[in-house]
Amino acid sequence: MNKRRGFIKRAGMASIAAISGLDVVFADNLPEGMSIVGLQDDLPWGKDSEMTLLNDLPWNIEAKAHLLDDAVTPADKFFVRNNGLVPENPDAATWSLRIEGESAENVKTYTIKELREKFNTYSYNLVIECGGNGRSEFNPPAKGNQWTIGAVACAKWTGVRLKDVLNDVGLKNDAVYIGYYGADIHLSKDPSKIVISRGVPISKALEDETLIAWEMNDQQIPILNGYPLRLVMGGWPGSVSGKWLNRIIIRNKVHDGEKMGGDSYRMPCDAVAPGAKVADEDMCIIESMPVKSLITSPKSGAMIDRGKSLKVSGHAWAGDYKVSEVHVSINFGSTWQNCSLDRPVNRLAWQRWTTQVSFPKTGYYEVWARAADEQGNAQPMVVPGWNPKGYLNNACHRIAVQVS
């Protein structure tokens, strides 16, 4: 059996029930060398067949750069970063969200129907990027899924503002943080174990664009991306946008949930040597993501005739900030040319950039893209400083072009 296909068969069979609500009857009888029709593309239902599977226990799937050319990322090209197993048969009609905590004035529970009826609804295009996007480029290798460039997306999210719900519950004066909990299942299937419970400072929770969302791109959220309810916080690592959301706690201290400590979504506060061990007290929580850009057209490996120019385009984003400029280079960063840059459709959305590139003679070229934000921060041309989990790689994206 193909090694990858065998991997899918072993782990994928167990995951089918969570995705579809169905058991694979007689799964043990499936002949060697075959996989079920539902797994023919090596991916769960609803994801583009060109997406790259990194892991299916839990599901972790990324896009290739050319799949991310849309201004609004379609659901089938939206990356998947899960820490546990998908909840079994979640139902929007019976789902509820409980808000509580030592800094909550009250304890309240809302159904999705009550959220829709009680609060104003908002929609925003928001960038969600895995903190480990680009991890595969670190040396020595960092722990975790070896993401390349495709663990990022910018979809349209619809729901209610978290701040409106928090204000309805009531915030005590000592409130400094919120933490979330979801219904995902620990890989051990031990119900007492929490898969992930991260949080953000109150200031981030109270931003207009921080949503409790039930729709992505005007449709229900795909189950792999958090159906029926999830937090969405653009500009910060995707791990703070909790999926299958069923509880939020209002804290009088920095949230101490699962994956808030150690090297989980934390960076050395100061630069360290590659491979160094870092003490827990010397690690800082990742907040706003760094400036970054992506070439989405043409696809790497493009071939053009000498004398013709090439249109190059993509997206750029910068955590909590706007992108101020994007440049491209065809000579490995020796010189750069400016690109046309669109304004974001709303705060925390990515920005479209375009340019025309000409090549002086036949041969192999690389097109590099580099963005800078409104704070003056620019992408490095090479992989930035090493860290234990390979977070925040915002090195220039590059594609290959052959001129003949």
Pull the structure tokens for residue 85.
């197993």
CB atoms within 10 A of CB 46: 13
pLDDT of residue 22: 52
Q: Tens digit of pLDDT for each residue in 175-228?
A: 999 999 999 999 999 999 999 999 999 999 999 999 999 999 999 999 999 999
Considering only CA atoms, which of 403, 404, 383, 387 is closest in space to residue 148?
Answer: 383
pLDDT of residue 83: 97
For the domain covering 96-285, report its CATH number.
Answer: 3.90.420.10
pLDDT of 42 strictly over 60: no
Find residue 159's DSSP bridge partners.
Answer: 122, 213
Residue-averaged pLDDT of the chain = 92
Q: Tens digit of pLDDT for each residue in 285-300?
A: 999 999 999 999 999 9
Q: Please report which helix (H) or strand (E) contains residue 13, including its range.
A: helix 3-20
DSSP calls for 264-320: TTEEESS---TT----GGGEEE--SPPPEEEEEES-TTEEE-TT--EEEEEEEEBTT
Task: Give the span between the Cα atoms of 359 and 219, in whole angstroms.
Answer: 43
**Which residues are within 8 A (CB) of 57 and not within 5 positions of it... i.e. 6 or more apart?**
11, 14, 15, 85, 187
Contact 288, 321 (CB under 8 A): yes
Assign 11 a pLDDT band (cuts: 50, 70, 90). Answer: very low
Which class in CATH covers the domain with range 292-403?
mainly beta
pLDDT of residue 5: 38
Helix ranges restricted to H, 184-280 = 202-205
Assign 46 a pLDDT band (cuts: 50, 70, 90). Answer: confident
pLDDT average, residue stretch 25-38: 60
pLDDT of 136 strictly over 60: yes
Which range, of 48-57, 291-300, 341-350, averages the lowest pLDDT? 48-57
CB atoms within 10 A of CB 298: 19
pLDDT of 332 strictly over 80: yes
Q: Tens digit of pLDDT for each residue in 252-310?
A: 999 999 999 999 999 999 999 999 999 999 999 999 999 999 999 999 999 999 999 99
pLDDT of 250 strictly over 80: yes
pLDDT of residue 246: 98
pLDDT of residue 201: 98
pLDDT of 61 strictly over 50: yes
pLDDT of residue 4: 39
Contact 354, 369 (CB under 8 A): no
- In the chain, what are the domain boundaries? 3-63, 96-285, 292-403
Q: Tens digit of pLDDT for each residue in 152-166?
A: 999 999 999 999 999
pLDDT of residue 254: 98
